[in-house]
Amino acid sequence: MAVSVQFINGVDEEISGISLRKGRQSGTKTVVLFFERVLAMEKGRSFVNQVDRLWLRDEEGEIEVTPNGIKFKFVDDDNLAQAECAFDVMSEEAWERVMRFLHRYAEAHGFEFQTPGG
């Protein structure tokens, strides 16, 4: 099975960057995915108000996450500059599963993990 990220079933999105964060006080782990294009959004502007799920699919199966929200930055009224989708991962088991997915995605798409400032 191919490694994919989808806001809408059947519409594969391409991640342009990934940021992993951990709350200093809470310890909550957050994954932030960056997109230069959102194909699901190109299907219609009503998409912006309907983002309530994100599917991460790979050979292990499917991870369904609920985004904290999606931020859209536009160059002008019609041209997306970047979309940022963040979601929290509550358990260590879920974190390990998401990390396995991210490593597979990185390998399939030529990403390289870097530490901040590195």
CATH of the domain at 68: 2.40.30.220
51-100 per-position pLDDT tens digit: 788 999 999 999 999 999 888 888 887 777 888 999 999 999 999 999 99
Tally of CB atoms within 10 A around 104: 16
52 found inside a domain: yes
- Is residue 57 in some structural domain? yes
Domain that holds residue 13: 4-109
Quick check: is 14 in a domain?
yes
The helix (H) or strand (E) run that includes residue 74 is: strand 69-74
Q: In what order do the strands lie in the sheet with 80-89?
A: 15-22, 29-35, 80-89, 69-74
Rounded to two decimals, the pTM is 0.86
Number of domains making up the chain:
1
DSSP letter (8 states) at residue 10: T
pLDDT bin (cut points 50, 70, 90) of residue 31 is very high
Q: What residue type is 53 in one-letter code?
A: R
Confidence grade of residue 5 (pLDDT, cut at 50, 70, 90) = very high
- Output the average pLDDT for the chain: 86
Structural domain includes residue 82:
yes
